[in-house]
Structure 1
Amino acid sequence: MATDPRNPGDSYLSFWREYHMCTLTTPRPNGTPHVVAVGVTYDPENGLARVITNKHSRKVANVLAAGPEGAKVAVCQVDKGRWATLEGVAVIRTEADVVADAVDRYAERYGRVPAPNPDRVVIEIALTRAMGRA
């Protein structure tokens, strides 16, 4: 079921606030999908999803390879019969305040502050679509 990523409804938003590992799908330069497990935070007020990661990761390289317009990506989580997918255009953010905000959001959702990482960046996804059954 499609839903508005900026106004998802209470059950959908509640599902995204629960502790669930997610997947991130990015396009490799040859067009094939690269799928990895990640932690994701969802910010419907700003129409964004965020993934914190190391700047040397394959997922970052895939987003950067798509060019300055960004890469079309999807994040997804599943719990038994419930599932939710967010789609959008990803860019890499390196600004210290953006990274700190993403780390705070991660800590709130996942209940732990990740270890310091001077190579940490944010995959910021401007959401274009949401769907699921939550």
Structure 2
Amino acid sequence: MSRSATELPASTRAFLTHPRTATLTTLRPDRTPHVTPVRFTFDPATGLARVTTRAGARKARNVAAGGPAARVALCQADGLRWVTLEGRAAVTDEPARLAEAVRRCTARYRAAPPDPPDLVVIEIAVDRVLSLNL
């Protein structure tokens, strides 16, 4: 079922708070998919998902290369239950946004994310949510 990020059922919102790993799919410059496991957070009130990473990581470079039209898919699964968050993505190293991403990630996963010197956050403005069995 496809929904907007701000009209999710309670069961879907709850599923997205469990400290599970997800996969992030970005597109390389040659338009082939790059899929990588990530930790992430999602704020259903604003429809914003966040993934912290290094600026030099392929996923961050893919998003940056895509410019303002860059789209990604973030999928969390548990058995036959899953949720995919899709939307436009951007990379930022703005200190306040990084701090918020780290705060949320630490709260969700009960451990701070790695803190490399080139830490950035991929922010995803979720505009489509697909799910099954939630």
Short-chain TM bin:
over 0.9
Residue 116 of structure 1: how far off its partner (Å): 2.9
Aligned residues: 133
Given residue 14 of structure 1, which amino acid in structure 2 is its aligned partner? A
> Residue 93 of structure 1 contacts residue 123 of structure 1 at CA under 8 Å; is this kept in 2?
yes
**2:61 aligned residue:** 61
Which stretch shifts more, 81-90 or 39-48? 39-48
Correspondence for 1:97: 96
Aligned counterpart, 2:6: 6
1:93-127 alpha-carbon deviations (Å, 9 max, x no partner): 11111001000110111111124332110000011
Q: What CA RMSD, in Å, does the superposition of the two structures yield over aligned residues?
A: 1.0
Structure-2-length-normalised TM-score: 0.95
Which sections of structure 1, spanning at least 5 residues, go unmatched?
none
Runs of 5+ unmatched residues, structure 2 = none
The aligned residue for residue 82 of structure 1 is 81
> Percent identity, aligned pairs only?
44
Task: Give a deviation string over 1:29-79, Cα, whole Å, max 9, x none.
Answer: 111100000001111111111000011101111011112x14110000110
Instruction: State the alpha-carbon separation in 2 of the partners of residues 98 and 66 from structure 1.
Output: 20
* SS of equivalent to 2:49: strand
Segments of 4+ in structure 1 off by > 4 A?
Answer: none
Name the CA distance, whole Å, in 2 between partners of 1:79 and 1:4: 21
